[in-house]
Amino acid sequence: MRLEEIKDPSQLKHLSLETMESLADAIRQKLILTVSKTGGHLAPNLGVVELTLALHRVFNSPVDKIVWDVGHQSYVHKMLTGRLDQMSSLRQYGGISGFPKTTESPHDAFNTGHSSTSISAALGMALARDLNNEKYEVVAVIGDGALTGGMAFEALNHAGHLGRHLIIILNDNEMSIANNVGALSSYLSRMRSDPRYYKGKEDIEQVLKRLPSIGPKVVKMAERIKDSLKYLVVPGMLFEELGFTYLGPIDGHNLHSMITVFQQAKRIKGPVLVHVLTKKGKGYAPAENNPDAFHGIGSFDISSGKARPKDGPPSYTEVFGRSLTQLAAHNPKIVGITAAMPDGTGLKYLAEEFPERFFDVGIAEQHGVTLAAGLAISGYRPVVAIYSTFLQRGFDQVLHDVCMQNLPVVFALDRAGIVGEDGETHHGVFDLAYLRSIPNLLVLAPKDELELSQMLTGALQHSGPVAIRYPRGQGKGVSLAKRYEPLSLGKCEVLEEGKDLVLLALGPVVYDAAEAAEELKGKGISCTLINARSVKPLDEETLLKVFRKCKKVLTIEEHVLAGGFGSAVREMLGRHQLNDVQVVSIGLPDTFVAHGNANLLRQKYDLCPEGIVKTVREKFYFRTAKTGFSTL
């Protein structure tokens, strides 16, 4: 059977192993071809080809529920569940998502994107099944990286306690995005790499079989011996002690082993954990050799495995990472914390230069934030670099552990704003709303990479907590010569003065506002252009002075309108009872923004020069020399 003929996973049920193996080859080809064009999570998917085939062979999706943790490894699942033809639209606007979506297919049992949720969700489904007296399997597929997240432990703890039938498949490839970290990861590694575990397991089974089973005393003694020996040599004791039946470790590229063990897992009552060993990037040499680069990649050349070169200025991430490292060279108290993203956040530069002052906590944002609080209260200057979307996890820790004690922790929120193809789970468009309500915290947004460095420099001299949000992608290409001159925090920058309209923009959209101001000037409308820089505190002194002169204000932000920057401006006007100022806001509506090209999405939401001019035309009424008494 050819891959193209598979319209439903039930077609896998009676295929020979050879046919399934040839399907695995075809799937790998399709994955490489697709992702080389669309970009996406190649290495994780190459690693789960056989695992996904075996899952769909043994379980009956969509009656049986498969919950993918993070969900970045669900491409093979999508191919086998009727979406092969749509793979070319993967991650494109209007196309299929790079993550499971219940709205996309009944085979996508649960939406994911953020890590470590699968066991909780699967346990909830298993409970619902039991309450309804229904019969089906619930399977959570979780990576060793995702297993470092606290929520996964909370769920294991609860699942072991409840004892309901639930299957967890641990896809262990020893990698998170970078190398996985932590004591649990070392524990898993020992199981996979130390032949003594395998041998020990076999030996001990022989010994136990030979133990006499007569007389209660002997039985008790035998059990004691069994137990103590088990602790020494039987793999998976940790999971067994938590109440799971542990099966494994098994070779995750051997279809026969996996099919056999999954069938066995179905027969066992109660919670089962199957430990599957896979290779990230399997079957494509560049991805096998460089799995972190191929974890999530843009378009690339298949034969060389090289990403298509990007010319132009360095990214915000790079400028942040290098600036921090330079600042750390002059201040031994500076430390950096990442939650499993040393590359993505740019903290790898600090890690290279000052490994003893760099901490990768695993996918554990909450722990990372409170760890920073502990360091800060002990005299250190922690910089916690976490994507805007993932810091949502650490809200209470930011509030309760850092800000309530007014500790000098700097939060570097990368990927703030629209991120593009990763879509709704990854857009960083809620941070202003969830941060600006917290007392003591300063909330800043630079207009370009120079200001990012200067804000970081200033933030590291400030005596309380500071959050700096900045976007994904390349900077504006401005000179970085003055990068270590600290900005005075909480002040805005008036870039142009005009009398008709105030364009008040936050973040790099200031550059779009500047273009719009030029165009409006040509239409006879003179704008005051302000780079807001600080959402909390607002630079009330400057803004009130400007608003007293000009009563038409357009705020612009790459963030949801609810609770965002425009809201903050309205609150300020309300506090000062300036009721005659007309404020219109450009930002994101009350909806989850879909996946797609970031610039295309920005255009859709008027976060571009044309959108700004259009909004001015639609919402304001001007009497000018060129336009007469009319709108534009």
Ligand X SMILES: Cc1ncc(C[n+]2csc(CCOP(=O)(O)OP(=O)(O)O)c2C)c(N)n1
Q: C-beta of 147: minimal distance to ligand X in Å?
A: 7
Q: C-beta of 189: minimal distance to ligand X in Å?
A: 13
User: Contact, 362 vs 148, CB < 8 A?
Assistant: yes
Q: Tell which one of 363, 402, 443, 513 touches ligand X (CB under 6 A).
A: 363
Burial 357-386 (b: 16+ CB within 10 A, else e): bbbbbbbbbbbbbbbbbebbeeebbbbbbb
Nearer to ligand X, 291 or 446 (CB): 291
**Element spanning 489, H or E:** none
Nearer to ligand X, 401 or 422 (CB): 422
State the Cα angle at 65 between 61 and 69, rounded to 5°: 120
Number of residues that bind ligand X (CB under 6 A): 25
> Does residue 75 touch ligand X according to CB under 6 A?
no
> Does residue 118 touch ligand X according to CB under 6 A?
no
> Does residue 176 touch ligand X according to CB under 6 A?
yes
Nearer to ligand X, 75 or 316 (CB): 75
Q: C-beta of 361: minimal distance to ligand X in Å?
A: 11
Q: C-beta of 114: minimal distance to ligand X in Å?
A: 4
> Within 10 A of 592 (CB to CB), how many other CB atoms are there?
11
Nearer to ligand X, 44 or 271 (CB): 44
Distances (CA, A) of 85 to 6, 40, 57, 397, 581: 11, 17, 21, 44, 53
Measured CA to CA, the distance from residue 557 to residue 436 in angstroms comes to 14
Q: Tell which one of 159, 340, 418, 608 touches ligand X (CB under 6 A).
A: 340
> Does residue 151 touch ligand X according to CB under 6 A?
no
User: Contact, 169 vs 52, CB < 8 A?
Assistant: no
The two three-digit tokens of residue 123, written as one number: 């346990």
Window contacting ligand X (CB under 6 A); options: 15-23, 167-175, 347-355, 614-622: 167-175
The two three-digit tokens of residue 381, written as one number: 């200057």
> Does residue 421 touch ligand X according to CB under 6 A?
no
Examine the residue annotation and report whether 365 is marked as an active-site residue of this protein: yes
Task: Annotate 263-290 with DSSP letters as a single string.
Answer: HHHHHS-SEEEEEEE--TTTT-HHHHH-
Residue 400, judged by CB atoms within 10 A of its CB (0-12, 13-18, 19+), counts as middle
Nearer to ligand X, 361 or 504 (CB): 361
Residue 329: phi and psi, rounded to 5, are: -65, -25
For residue 81, the one-letter residue type is T
Q: C-beta of 39: minimal distance to ligand X in Å?
A: 15
Quick one: which of 566, 496, 493, 492 has its CA closest to 527? 496
Q: Tell which one of 56, 91, 280, 322 touches ligand X (CB under 6 A).
A: 280
Q: C-beta of 350: minimal distance to ligand X in Å?
A: 18
> Does residue 427 touch ligand X according to CB under 6 A?
no
- Considering only residues 385 to 414 of the shown chain, the ones binding ligand X according to CB under 6 A are 390, 393
Examine the residue annotation and report whether 13 is marked as an active-site residue of this protein: no
Q: C-beta of 407: minimal distance to ligand X in Å?
A: 23
Examine the residue annotation and report whether 540 is marked as an active-site residue of this protein: no
- Provide CB contacts within 8 A for 581, sequence distance 6+: 547, 551, 552, 553, 573
Binding mask of the shown chain, residues 36 to 55, with x at each position contacting ligand X by CB under 6 A: --------x--x--------
* Active-site residue set: 280, 365, 393
- Give the interface with ligand X as residue ranges (CB under 6 A): 44, 47, 70, 72-73, 114-115, 143-146, 171, 173, 175-177, 280, 295, 339-341, 363, 365, 390, 393
